[in-house]
Amino acid sequence: MNFDTKVAILILNDLAVWQKLNVTAFLATGIAAAAPEAMGEPYEDARGRQHARLLGQPIMIFAANTEVLQRAYGQAIERNVIRAVYVRAMFSTGHDAANRAVFKAEPADVPDLVGLALRGLKKDVDKAVKGASLHA
């Protein structure tokens, strides 16, 4: 199936594995919340039990250095792409309100990003993730 949109998550390449997984999970929920129309239908198993909906299109996961993350962030803002952000200071907080506070304290144009999720038109997301490589 072809999609007009693309979902990409960029993760700082030098994080610990647990941090990469944690950031990816948080960012995916941000895209799901910001784009409910992208969600598929609920899953049902062979016994008729209901399971949660998943995003209805693939999510591409990229490894990126700080420079690529910052460039992608700027491109996403310039092109008005849906974005979810995770900054380094969020590792030291314990709840959502604290996460929002530390993000707001970051420099607006160059936050200390460790992760960025994007959803938008393919051409816009492709431009933003240029220079990143698929995560291995």
Tokens at 31, concatenated? 């895209």
Tokens at 102, concatenated? 């530390």
Cβ-based neighbours of 93, under 8 Å, separated by 6 or more: 99, 101, 102
Residue position matching structure tokens 């199936």: 1
> What is the overall mean pLDDT for the chain?
96
The pLDDT, as a whole number, for residue 1 is 80
Give per-residue pLDDT as tens, 55-90: 999 999 999 999 999 999 999 999 999 999 999 999
Structural domains in the chain plus CATH codes: 5-134 (3.40.1490.10)
